Amino acid sequence: MPSPRLLVLFGSQTGTAEDVSERLGRGARRRRLACRVQALDSYPVVNLINEPLVIFVCATTGQGDPPDNMKNFWRFIFRKHLPSTSLCQMDFAVVGLGDSSYAKFNFVAKKLHRRLLQLGGTALLPVCLGDEQHELGPDAAVDPWLHDLWEKVLGLHPLPLGLSVIPPGVPLPSKFTMQFLPESPRSCSEEQRVARTDPPSPPSELQPFLAPMVTNQRVTGPSHFQDVRLIEFDIAGSGISFAAGDVVLIPPQNAASHVQQFCQVLGLDPEQCFTLQPREPDVPCPTRLPQPCSVRHLVSQYLDIVSVPRRSFFELLACLSPSELERDKLLELSSAAGQEELSQYCTRPRRTVLEVLCDFPCTAAAIPPDYLLDLIPPIRPRAFSIASSLLAHPSRLQILVAVVQYQTRLREPRRGLCSSWLASLHPGQGPVQVPLWIRSGGLTFPETADTPVIMVGPGTGVAPFRAAIQERVAQSQSGNFLFFGCRWRDQDFYWEAEWKELEKRGCLTLITAFSREQKQKVYVQHRLRELGPLVWELLDRWGAYFYLAGRRAGSLALTPLPTLPGSSGHCVSRLRRGPEEPSCRLQPL
């Protein structure tokens, strides 16, 4: 009798949902179930009608939005013409991963669960609502839910006679095998990278454009605590086009010192080349890895060795450890009872994969290379708001990058992988190329010339508004109102000269807030209150669009405007406009 099939489909933005999905896959294989784990948009959704058992793992992003790798599925599954019996043969369950500090907590998972029921599916369990705000993270909800799930699944699909569940301490086979080559072929080099400098079609994640970096300029004062860079790329001949509000995605690389340290700890030769083979026929090799591939390329450009490891990392590491002392500690950190200790050791201080491996040297030295891709997640591309318009800077693309660096209780400062890598590149010392591609952003701006636009962009949140202002000025669109806030006028007032010139020309109304230049701190929300009557008139009388961007946009969205005659007191509750929505929704306070 063939093994029953389980399909795990995930929509993941930061990797948490993918990690839970892989955990489900391992749990299924331990229970002798054939299992496939796929991103939702990589799965042919029309085949769902033939699937008997499906687990959906979905994150919620932004203001109740689905992750990027499930948006096509999302549009399809909510088509109105789908018959109500489409999925009548399917048993399903839904895991949601969200953050209860947001209004639309786990909105995607809840809505998907209802939709699958509407289409005739049979729910094995109520939807699981993992919460990032819980002191133990999403696992606080996921752990007991998984226990109930496997009971349900084994009730429907009992273990084959004579077989038992594979114990947790026994490692499952790796997804891939590495066949090391006796000699490093010439083709095993950086030239094998899928990116090209002259792609025939618009660049994408599978084929990014290698953009020459033109400038990398620090735009904050030398005494300012934050290093912020204005970086410009040459995109001539790339086929790239973009509009204000779009984002550029950049896959970063690990620092050479970290790559060297990783290879030393694991006993790997960075110059050795290998080919990758999947153990199962329906598992594709990672498209971002060339074949053959060098260990250096794998570690520098694919494995996220400076990410904070998740619980599953410790589970697998414990299985592979030959040291009883280290294995006991790893088992403790990966157990349900050890999650507070794991948080203290790893999550709160932001300890990295590489640092954990250094803390467990006997285990690290014994890791079979075949397990590297099971153990360490891939580097994810980082998204940056585009800070320029092609109408003002033809064949150029600019981004504003705050270099992330902060201290925890660990001796070494924590550094952002992508921002630190970009800051380390020096185009003045020789040619520098960075792989990139474009994605449509969440901001759309009015096309009518007389519709005012109110933009609130504190700090680096002003980046997309610079692109919008450049674009609107080039198209002779007036009514541009920018609220900009920073700490000091002479330290982090980005594009001051450009804003002042546009003000002189009558193309921009600029309202600033310099929070540290007076005894009482002044932020953009204070300026919004001060100019409440103007803001209200622009919204109510002239149909202005209102935008917020930046790290604190969520809290600023609920800044109340002063009570005005006939307004009852209102606050702007929408950050952007959708295709069928009014320019802003007003919510009574």
Residue 478's pLDDT is 85
Each residue's pLDDT tens digit, 397-421:
999 999 999 999 999 999 999 999 9
pLDDT tens figures, 448-464: 878 999 999 899 999 99
Write out the DSSP string of 370-382.
GGHHHHSPBPPPE
* Structure confidence at residue 251 (pLDDT): 96
| Site of tokens 């009608």 | 49
pLDDT digits (tens, 9 = 90+) for 148-164: 999 999 998 888 888 88
pLDDT at site 101: 86
Express each pLDDT in 217-238 by its tens digit: 999 998 888 899 999 999 999 9
Structure confidence at residue 579 as a pLDDT band (50, 70, 90) = very low
Residue 437 has pLDDT above 90, yes or no: yes
pLDDT (average), residues 14-36 = 91
Token representation of residue 559: 């800044």
- Residue 577: the pLDDT is 33
Most confident region among 78-82, 139-143, 369-373 by mean pLDDT: 369-373
Take residue 8 and report the two structure tokens written for it: 């795990």
- Percent of the chain at pLDDT exceeding 90: 62
10 Å Cβ neighbour count for 469? 27
Whether 282 has a pLDDT exceeding 90, the answer reads: no
Q: 161 Cβ partners below 8 Å, 6+ apart? A: none
Mean pLDDT, residues 200-211 taken together: 87
Per the model's pLDDT, the better-predicted residue between 447 and 121 turns out to be 121
Contact call for residues 522 and 529 (beta carbons, < 8 A): no
**pLDDT over 70 at 566, yes or no:** no
In this predicted structure, what is the pLDDT of residue 589?
Answer: 25
**pLDDT at residue number 182:** 86
Instruction: Note every long-range contact of 155-160, with CB atoms under 8 Å and residues 24 or more positions apart, other chains counting.
Output: 156/4, 156/53, 156/91, 157/4, 157/33, 157/53, 159/31, 159/32, 160/1, 160/3, 160/32
Per-residue pLDDT for 429 more than 50? yes
What one-letter code names the amino acid at 77?
A: I
Q: What integer best gives the mean pLDDT of the chain? A: 87
Span 452-480, mean pLDDT? 92
Token pair of 339 as six digits: 């999650």
Tokens of 222: 């030398």
More confident site: 582 or 149:
149
Q: What is the spatial order of strands in the sheet that 545-548 belongs to?
A: 509-514, 480-486, 453-456, 545-548
Spatial CA neighbour of 422 closest among 249, 236, 234, 229: 229
> Mean of the pLDDT values across residues 79-98?
93
Q: Residue 342 in contact with residue 314, Cβ under 8 Å? A: yes
Q: pLDDT tens digits, residue range 483-519?
A: 988 888 888 899 999 999 999 999 999 998 898 888 8
Q: What's the pLDDT score for residue 92?
A: 95
pLDDT, average across residues 557-576: 42
Q: Could you report the per-residue pLDDT of 111-137, keeping only the tens digit for each?
A: 999 999 999 999 999 999 999 888 778
Beta-carbon contacts of residue 269 (< 8 Å; ≥ 6 apart): 263, 295
Which residue, among 395, 367, 399, has the nearest Cα to 383 in the 3D structure?
399
Residues of the chain with pLDDT > 70, as a percent, come to 90
Residue 300: strand, helix, or coil: helix
Tokens of 298: 């794998």
Quick check: 558 pLDDT over 80?
no
